[in-house]
Amino acid sequence: MEKILRRQFGVDTIAPSVRVARGGQHLELDVLAYANGEVNAAYVVEVKSHLREEHIQQLLEILEQFAAWFPEHRGKQLYGILAAVHIPAALPVRMLRYLTDIHLAHRGQRVHQCLVYIGAERLTMKAELDSPQLHYRYDLVDMRKIDYRTLYARDQPEALVLAILGDFGAEDPATVVKRLVEKLCALTGTDEKRLREYLSMLEILADNRHLTVHFEEVYAMLQINIEHLASYRVGMEKGMEKGMEKGIEQGIEQGIEQGIEQGMEKGMEEGAHRKALAVAETLLAMNFAPEQIAAITQLPLTEIPKKAH
pLDDT tens readout for residues 165-175: 899 999 999 99
Sheet strands side by side (includes 13-22): 13-22, 25-35, 41-50, 77-86
Long-range contacts of 26-34 (CB under 8 A, 24+ apart): 27/62, 27/65, 27/69, 28/287, 29/62, 30/83, 30/287, 31/1, 31/5, 31/81, 32/70, 33/5, 33/9, 34/73, 34/76
Contacts of 171 (CB under 8 A, 6+ apart): none
Residue 50 binned pLDDT confidence (cut-offs 50, 70, 90): confident
- The Cα 95–Cα 90 span in angstroms is 9
- Quote the DSSP letter at residue 167: B
DSSP 38-67: TT-EEEEEEEEEE--HHHHHHHHHHHHHHH
The CA R_g of the chain, rounded to the nearest whole Å, is 23
Residue 111 binned pLDDT confidence (cut-offs 50, 70, 90): confident
pLDDT of residue 232: 46
Residue 82 binned pLDDT confidence (cut-offs 50, 70, 90): confident
Strand ranges (E), 111-267: 114-117, 128-131, 134-137, 139-142
pTM above 0.85, yes or no: no
* H or E segment to which residue 21 belongs: strand 13-22
Residue 222 binned pLDDT confidence (cut-offs 50, 70, 90): confident
* H or E segment to which residue 82 belongs: strand 77-86
Shortest CA distance to 215 belongs to which of 157, 144, 103, 204? 204
The residue ranking higher by pLDDT, 86 or 171, is: 171
Contacts of 109 (CB under 8 A, 6+ apart): 78, 102, 103
Contacts of 217 (CB under 8 A, 6+ apart): 174
